[in-house]
């Protein structure tokens, strides 16, 4: 067998494990609890044989299931998602991951505050829907992150994308930051991925934090390079300059290429080289 498509119905339990009492989960049976709802419907899973599994008696089994079915018991210690995924991949853990019934330790939340530049709300075990209900208004007002955990070891963060941009939530990693001033120049140097010629872009930081594109300079016209723009043209030192472009960008969003992006400079000083950032990852540059 060369390839397997593995689909996990995360947290869809079919009954307690022998060690359920160790985690205060005696009597747990997620699928049975869900099946008690009049809106419960899993016809495709039923045809595959979900209700033919021994002990899954909340719905009628099919006479001939389309799939092969079985009930398996986890060998690892612990009950959270990560432990289960590790075991699926072949790693058996002899000790459970830590849980945080009183919230995460202060040194961890302080590090999170330091890295994100944002405060922390909640920091307690909570339901994902209820934590938004109880802390959402304060989050919108203050910009602080809603941090919570559940019965497992996972640190979870809730935030509104109008307050915390999606790209900030996706990685949270900051590769460089420095103070800037209105009027300062930001430049990008690229090597055109097809023509393999130099390409420069020169922007000016505006008072509202946006970027005004003043000039593009290229070594020649080719694929992806605008041949006609509402601007002025000049030829200097082997480059064609397109000046007075006047386009405004609230921020920069790009998929980084370590081969195409040579560097980013601010005020003539190097901010980052393309090789300083991960290849083929979404990046953002903005003024805070």
Residue 226 in this model has a pLDDT that exceeds 70 = no
Mean pLDDT (the chain) is 88
Q: What is the distance in angstroms between the CA of the first residue and the CA of the last residue of the chain? A: 51
Q: Is 106 exposed, middle or buried (0-12, 13-18, 19+ CB in 10 A)?
A: exposed
Residue 57 in this model has a pLDDT that exceeds 90 = no
Q: Which residue has the higher pLDDT, 173 or 147?
A: 147
Residue 223 in this model has a pLDDT that exceeds 60 = no
Give residue 84's pLDDT.
85
Tens-digit pLDDT profile for residues 61-91: 999 999 999 988 889 888 777 888 888 888 9
**CA 139, CA 150: separation in Å to the nearest integer?**
19
Look-up: residue for tokens 């999170």? 112
Decide: 110 and 126 in contact? Cβ < 8 Å. Answer: no
- Region of residue 116 (left: phi > 0; alpha: psi -120 to 50; beta: else): alpha
Tens-digit pLDDT profile for residues 195-221: 678 899 999 999 999 999 999 998 876
Residue 224 in this model has a pLDDT that exceeds 60 = no
Number of other CB atoms surrounding residue 59 within 10 Å: 17
Q: Give rounded-to-5 percent helix, strand, coil for the chain.
A: 20, 25, 55
What are the strands, taking DSSP E only, across 183-230? 185-191, 198-205, 211-218
- Region of residue 278 (left: phi > 0; alpha: psi -120 to 50; beta: else): beta
* CB neighbour list of residue 137: distance below 8 Å, 6 or more residues apart: none
């Amino acid at each position: 067998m060369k390839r397997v498509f593995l689909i996990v119905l995360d947290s869809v339990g079919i009954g307690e494990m022998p060690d359920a009492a160790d985690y205060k989960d005696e009597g747990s049976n997620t699928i049975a609890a869900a099946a008690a709802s009049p809106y419960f419907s899993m016809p495709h899973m039923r045809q595959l044989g979900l209700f033919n599994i021994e002990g899954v008696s909340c719905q009628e089994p099919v006479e001939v299931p389309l799939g092969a079915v079985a009930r398996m018991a986890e060998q690892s210690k612990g009950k959270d998602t990560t432990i289960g995924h590790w075991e699926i991949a072949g790693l058996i853990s002899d000790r459970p991951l830590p849980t945080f019934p009183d919230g995460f330790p202060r040194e961890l939340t302080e590090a999170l505050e330091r890295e994100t530049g944002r405060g922390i709300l909640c920091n307690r075990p909570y339901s994902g829907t209820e934590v938004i209900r109880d802390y959402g208004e304060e989050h919108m007002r203050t910009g602080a992150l809603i941090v919570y955990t559940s019965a497992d070891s996972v640190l979870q963060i809730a935030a509104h994308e109008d307050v915390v941009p999606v790209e900030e939530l996706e990685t949270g990693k900051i590769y460089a930051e420095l103070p800037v001033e209105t009027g300062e120049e930001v430049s990008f140097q690229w090597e055109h991925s097809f023509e393999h010629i130099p390409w420069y872009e020169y922007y000016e930081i505006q008072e509202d934090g946006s970027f005004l594109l003043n000039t593009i300079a290229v070594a020649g016209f080719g694929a992806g390079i605008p041949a006609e723009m509402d601007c002025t043209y000049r030829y200097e030192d082997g480059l064609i300059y397109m000046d007075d472009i006047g386009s405004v960008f609230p921020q920069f969003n790009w998929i980084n290429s370590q081969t195409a992006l040579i560097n980013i400079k601010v005020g003539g000083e190097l901010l980052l080289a393309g090789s300083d950032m991960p290849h083929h990852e979404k990046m953002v540059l903005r003024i805070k």
